[in-house]
Amino acid sequence: MGLDLLTLASYIFNNYFIDIYFGNDKIMTEKISGPDACGMYCNVMERKVMKKSKGKKGNGGFSLVELIIVIAIMAVLVGVLAPQYLSYIHKAKVAADQANLKNYYTEIQMDYITTGKYNSMVPTVQNSPADYMQREIHFLNGQTVKLKAGYFAVTEDTRSQGGYNLCYHCDLCTAADADEQTKQKHLETCMITFL
């Protein structure tokens, strides 16, 4: 009692069950039958979409009030988050400077321990007072690294143990336009001394 292939194909061709959608909303399921089912499918789709779209007014855009509210929220978020973001950038630059200076300090201390005398390639404040605010590290192997957020000074050891002392300050520690509270905060967190 099975259907032969020709009868099945004829049934499928002559009986369409279609789901009609408008956007993501299913409007209806409709059965279309007959020899001109394809043409009817197009007509039904056109009628249903036109009927649904005539019911909506406006183009669905944002109103001016909604846009102003969104802009106001974004402005508040930027105002709150920007200082924290800038603080993190400063801390990252200071941390990079301190890591480079620690490597430099280790190198010049090892040089002093190995040779037992101060190296003339190490710019110390005793040799030149202008070397108090150095912004570039000149490693003994010839490599040069520019500091990102501050300056340093190298002195010969003042504790009579030999070697070097190194002191680093960030630019905000001594900024002329910074208040005393800001300077003190940066002195506590950014200044580092290697003895």
HEC letters along 59-100? CCCCCHHHHHHHHHHHHHHHHHHHHHHHHHHHHHHHHHHHHH
| pLDDT tens by residue, 27-54 | 555 555 555 545 544 454 455 545 555 5
Mention every residue, 6+ apart, whose C-beta is less than 8 A from residue 150: 94, 97, 168, 169, 170, 171, 173, 190
Q: Is the pTM of this model over 0.75?
A: no
Mean of the per-residue pLDDT values for the chain?
77
Please tell me the distance from the alpha carbon of residue 16 to that of residue 176, in angstroms, as a whole number. 82
Predicted pLDDT of residue 176? 76
* pLDDT at position 73 over 50: yes
* pLDDT at position 124 over 90: no
3-class DSSP state of 193: strand
Please tell me the distance from the alpha carbon of residue 174 to that of residue 179, in angstroms, as a whole number. 10
- Report percent pLDDT > 70 for the chain: 68
Burial class from Cβ neighbours inside 10 Å (0-12, 13-18, 19+) for residue 186 reads buried
* pLDDT at position 22 over 90: no
**Residue 56 banded pLDDT, cuts 50, 70, 90:** low
Please tell me what DSSP assigns to residue 128.
Answer: -
Alpha-helical regions (H) of the chain: 5-14, 37-55, 64-115, 180-189
- Using alpha carbons only, what angle is made at residue 163 by residues 157 and 169, rounded to the nearest 5 degrees? 60
Alpha-helical regions (H) of 116-151: none
| pLDDT tens by residue, 167-184 | 998 888 777 777 788 777
